[in-house]
Structure 1
Amino acid sequence: IERLEALVGELLNFASLPQPRLRPGNLGEVLRDTLSLVRRQCHKSGVYLEE
């Protein structure tokens, strides 16, 4: 049972997401990158985006 508990603990540690690291950034750049990712799908759905 102890080995199983240790294995489950290791799997949970492996599968857990790392803590996000917050840092200053350029919001305009983030928005432009996001728009470039979704623009084509939006256009196919009849949604047109403007910058």
Structure 2
Amino acid sequence: NIDVQDINWKVTLQVWNPDKGANNAFTTSFHSNIRTYFIKCINQQLP
């Protein structure tokens, strides 16, 4: 079985670095939205 969440985490960790790559408004907003999404998922899983 493939852990989709684990894959998403790896991808996010690779792209969530504002100091590398194209750091324009869209990219920053896109990364921020991904980060916010995972934070919400984590918070929902906490007891």
Normalised to the residue count of structure 1, the TM-score between the two structures is: 0.40
TM-score, length of structure 2 as denominator length: 0.43
| Greater helix content | 2
Larger radius of gyration: 1
